[in-house]
Every structure is written in structure tokens, then in C-alpha cells.
Chains A and B, each alone.
Chain A
Amino acid sequence: MEPVMAIAIGLLYSAAIFLMLRRSIVKLVIGLMLLTNAANLLIFTSAGMTRGAPPLIPEGMLAPEGVVADPLPQAVVLTAIVIAFGVLAFAVVLIRRAYEIVKADDLDKMKDTDT
């Protein structure tokens, strides 16, 4: 499964970067969303992928039976997903305010700081 995921993550990154290189601010936002998802997947898969063995300990046991999926990347990604939402909201609102003031969706027209 891993090689497939590697290629998929690579494609996600490409799509995200391509969108972020556009001049339209809305495309920048979409690219940002793709990028956070791609990064989350990258971290999630970095410890290898395990099928059907969630990192839970059955009731009454002290350790999981057999091999379970690595919980650490999962914990990291869990917070990353929530934070990505916060950052996305911040970015979107920032862009909205910038657009209200500059009245241009072309990022090239936003290059002066004192408009």
C-alpha cells in the first residue's frame, strides 16, 4: 500500500503547490487546504500503514494484542487537523479583509503594503 500512498501524496503536493502559485487569491486558499491535507497524510503514513488494528487496548487488558498502528503520528495529525482548520479560517478571513480593502483578486496588485 505504501508506494501507492507515496505517489498519491506526491500528486496532492503537486496540486497544492500549483494552486498556490496562481495569482488568484481564491485559488491560493484552495491550495492551502490541499497542502494541509497532503501534509497530514504524509505524517500519517510516515510510520507505515497498518490495516484493522487501531491503537486501542481492549477492556481489561494491559497492552494491545499483537501489532497495532503507530499511535504517535495519529496524535500529531489529530491536532494538526484541528489547527489546520483554525489556520484556514484565519487565512480565509484575512484574505477576505484584504479583498475588501484592495478590491482586487490579483495577488500581484496586493504587493504594496500601504494600500
Chain B
Amino acid sequence: MVKSGTIILNTAARLLMPLQLLFSVFLLLRGHDEPGGGFIAGLVAAGAFTLYLFAFGVSATKEVLRMLDPRDLIGMGLLLGMISVVPAWFVGDPFLTAQWWTIPGIGFKASTPLIFDIGVYLAVLGSVLTMVMTLMEVDKDEP
């Protein structure tokens, strides 16, 4: 049902996808202070891939994703979410208590909420991509 798009769509997708992905990472990282965050960034990234899907089809998108199956992204996201629970134990706080570290040199503030937010990002991206890609694949199989 969904066929590979027109030249305009193809060009737009090729140009827009890297920008969208970059923008999603930007949204993710600034999310703690400005509007943004894991959910929104994940949706933006999913949107980027979906656009690419519509322009070039499932197999091309899979090539872009290389070895990464969207389902692996879900697993990685959930795993990161769970990992962010752990550091608090070492300090003796109740689990999920946020921990903050400043990486020396660049002055970047790393934290368990950031790890957690990346986990949310990957889980949302993986979930939405899994749904859309599966539907498109089935669509392709069935005329």
C-alpha cells in the first residue's frame, strides 16, 4: 500500500533524517532544563526513521539501522533504565535515588537521571519503530 515516494520526498527524507536525529539528541540532552526529554526526543527520532521508511521502504531503512534491530533498542532502553537504579545502592541510598557526577575537563554533568532518560529515549524509539516497521513489512507481504 505504501510505495516508495516521489523525488521530493526521497530528497527531503535523505536530508532531513540526519538533522532530525541530531535534533532528537539535542532535545534529549537539554531535556532536563528546557522543554524536551526522553519521550519527546524518542518520538522525534522515531518520526525521522518513519519518514525514511515511507521514502525508501523497509529494507533500505534496515540498512540504515545496520545491525540494530528496533527490538534490540527496546531491550537496551529498558536495560539502561534498570541500570540507572543501581548506583544509588553503592552509596547506600534507597534505590533510584539520583546520583550526580561532574566529568572533569569538559565540565559535563552526568547523572543517573540522564542515563534513565537515555533509556526512555531508546525504549520509545525502539517501541514505535518496531510497531511501524512490522506493520509496513506485513503490508508489503500482503498485496
Contacts and interface: CB of A to CB of B under 8 A. Distances in A.
Direct contact of A and B (CB under 8 A): yes
B43 A93 contact: no
B127 interface: yes
A78 B39 contact: yes
Nearest to B40: A78
B35 interface: yes
Which interface class (under 10, 10 to 19, 20 to 34, 35 or more) fits B?
10 to 19
Q: Is the interface of B mostly helix, strand, loop or mixed?
A: helix
Q: Among A54, A79, A85, which residue has the most Cβ atoms of chain B within 10 A?
A: A85
A102 interface: no
Contacts, number: 16
A82 B44 CA distance: 12
A82 B39 contact: yes
Interface in A66-101: 78-79, 82, 85-86, 89, 93
Contacts of A85: 128
Interface of B: 33-35, 39, 43, 124, 127-128, 131, 135
16 contacts: A54-B35, A56-B33, A56-B34, A56-B35, A59-B33, A78-B39, A79-B39, A82-B39, A82-B43, A82-B124, A85-B128, A86-B127, A86-B131, A89-B131, A93-B131, A93-B135
